[in-house]
Structure 1
Amino acid sequence: AEETVECRRNGYVLTGKFLGQGAYAKVYLGQAIPEKLKRQVAIKIISTTSTPSIYITKFLPREVATMNRCYTHSNVIQLYDVFATSKRVYMVLEYAECGDLLTYINKCYAKRANANCLTEDKARAMFRDILAGVQFIHSRGVAHRDLKCENILLAQNNQAKLSDFGFAIEPNQSRELLQTHCGSYAYTPPEILRQQKYNGKLADLWSLGVILFAMVNGGLPFKESSAEAVLRAMKKPVCFKVCLSADCKDLIRGLLKMKPNKRMTIEDMVVHSWLK
């Protein structure tokens, strides 16, 4: 196919292994031709002919710029290369061989009796990785704005890495409060659901609370399908598993605060007793 030829021309072998797809892209396993990288890569292929122009002109350049700004951190998926033809854009990304966090959580909770179940200790190790990634991108002036279990990828030894920076916002845009509403309802903070101006980094903190809740409870705290219903659910106390430690509950409650400026900061989290 054309894709195979175009990848080969740019130094990559496109394998037939399909890794997943988003709204406008498909991702395949690739192999860098030895003299280039000597490693397996994930190749994201975006068709410029069947994708809305705003994605090509706004979101894709933003994703590339943000990933370049957040390069070289072990808890952020790396962008190695970008090339384009008249019909397609190719992004060559770090390959995380253990899939995404959502799939991992679902597998763990599907076999409850299995020793591989997601214990608090395992969740703690993975959440430390996620937190380190978020702390790093925030230090680079970047808010992710679409943190969710599907966007956390797992490499060897289940090392967690942030991915999918299509909604991320760069430093020169993040000084004022943002008005664009991105992300999935289940992970979206109340200020965005209410269509208020918001701070992207504080929105990421709420999403971290939802991700941690999902890891230790095996489901999402807010499953409703409309913004109004989710907002109503947020006003009720969060229901935890009986066996969950008090420290873990405290951390989740600290992140799921309705008022953004009341949320536990990254600095607070790093020294929180559950993460020590």
Structure 2
Amino acid sequence: MGAPVSQPERVIAGRYRLLAPLGEGGMGTVWRARDEVLGREVAVKEVRAPAGLPAADVERLYARLEREAWAAARIPHRNVVTVYDVASESGRPWIVMELVRGLSLSDVLEAEGALTPQRTARIGAEVLGALRAAHDAGVLHRDVKPGNVLIANDGRVVLTDFGIALVEGSSALTMTGEVVGSPEFLAPERALGHRPGPASDLWSLGVLLYAAVEGSTPFRQDTPLSTLRAVVDEELPPARAAGPLTSVIEGLLRKDPAERMSAADAERD
């Protein structure tokens, strides 16, 4: 048998040479790539619509993702992943971002188990800084979870994947019946189909903090539907390992968004 023929590296928009896949998700693949114009490595998110989606919905989905990538690009903050460009190739948007070298928080939790309240508080404060900057720019994240928090090799904490974010005040382009985000991190008001606001992202941060200190999320059940029901109806199981973070977690995980702890209070605590 001869040596396998290596595939030629694909170049997107005549500029971004795809080198190797970094990760795969429900909405596509993230690639390590080289920007041939500026001579630097970048991360490129290849967006793919779910199979079987009608053509009109696919078009709306791509339009929404492109608009939201540009929205994320207007958030200048050290804890928000920098979006450089949205390229178009094969009728789909490809989101070009800074390449963050490090691990996701979900990788860290998988490798090390639950974290100390002190380390969790440091990570949480940086994610909160990213959310406050996004909310000030009128952008909701809508999918805050450990897989979207990167811990860079230099210790910087970066919130990434604003791909399903919603720009406040823009026409909402949500797909019919689509649950956007991860059920166990979804705020009760979103599980009930109400319009999300900044407080919905703060709830997701509360679930993230809980998961980091306890090693599991508070409302996870066997199916997405039973998880959503628990989010809406079940009492919060006590966070036994949270120590000084207990009041912040409990404040962020109040079912009523009007009673939820504010970003400023959470940051102070």
Q: What is the TM-score normalised by the length of structure 2?
A: 0.83
1:228, distance to aligned residue in structure 2 (A): 4.3
Bigger proportion of residues as strand: 2
* Aligned mates of 2:8, 2:81 — CA distance in 1: 23
**What secondary structure is seen at the aligned counterpart in 2 of 1:199?**
coil
Does residue 43 of structure 2 align to residue 42 of structure 1?
A: yes
In 2, the alpha carbon distance for the partners of 1:153 and 1:253 equals 24
Letter in 1 for 2:71: T
Moved more, 57-66 or 120-129: 57-66
87-96 or 77-86, which deviates more: 87-96
Q: Choose 215-224 or 231-240, whichever is displaced more.
A: 231-240
Output the amino acid matched with 2:111: K
Residue 181 (structure 2) pairs with residue 192 (structure 1):
no
Residue 107 of structure 1: how far off its partner (Å): 0.9
Do 2:13 and 2:87's aligned partners in 1 also have CA atoms closer than 8 Å?
A: no
Partner of 1:267: 264
After TM superposition, give the deviation of residue 47 of structure 1 in Å.
Answer: 5.2
Distance in 2 (CA, whole Å) between partners of 1:227 and 1:50 is 22
Aligned-pair Cα RMSD in Å: 2.8
1:60 aligns with 2:65: yes
Contact 1:186 1:222 survives alignment (8 Å): yes
Partner of 1:25: 28
1:143 maps to: 140
Mapped contact 2:13–2:88 kept (Cα < 8 A)? no
Q: In the superposition, relative to structure 1, how do residues 46 and 181 fare at CA in structure 2: closer, same or farther (>3 Å)?
A: closer
Partners of 1:47 and 1:254 in 2: how far apart?
37
Larger mean CA deviation between 140-149 and 51-60 belongs to 51-60
Q: Which residue matches 2:111?
A: 107
Where does residue 7 of structure 1 map in the other structure?
A: 12
Ranges in structure 2 where 5+ consecutive residues have no aligned partner = 1-5
Equivalent AA in structure 2 for residue 6 of structure 1: V
Q: In the alignment, what sits opposite 1:92?
A: 96
Cα distance, 1:223 vs. partner?
Answer: 1.0
* Alpha-carbon distance change, 51 to 31 in structure 1, aligned in 2, over 3 angstroms: farther
1:142 Cα deviation (Å)?
1.2
Q: Following the alignment from structure 1 to structure 2, what is the Cα–Cα distance between the partners of residues 206 and 147? A: 9
In the alignment, the residues of structure 2 paired with residue 107 and residue 42 of structure 1 have an alpha-carbon distance, to the nearest angstrom, of 24
Paired AA for residue 245 in structure 2:
C
Amino acid of the residue matched to residue 45 of structure 1?
Answer: E
The answer to whether 1:80 aligns with 2:84 is yes
State how far apart, in whole Å, the 1-side matches of 2:14 and 2:78 are: 29
The aligned counterpart of 2:3 is: none
Q: 1:91 to 1:166 in 2, by over 3 A?
A: closer
Give the whole-Å Cα distance in 1 for the aligned partners of 2:52 and 2:46: 11
Q: What is the CA deviation profile of residues 163-195 of structure 1, one whole-angstrom value per residue up to 9, with x for unaligned ones?
A: 2223211132389xxx97521110111122223
8 A Cα contact 2:218 2:236, kept in partner? no
Shift of 1:8: 8.2
In 2: Cα distance, 1:199 partner to 1:133 partner: 18
| Alpha carbons 1:214, 1:220 under 8 Å: kept | yes
1:217 to 1:156, Cα distance in 2 relative to 1, 3 A: same
Q: What letter matches 1:77 in structure 2?
A: V
In structure 2, the residue corresponding to 1:96 is in which secondary structure?
Answer: coil
Aligned to 2:207: 210
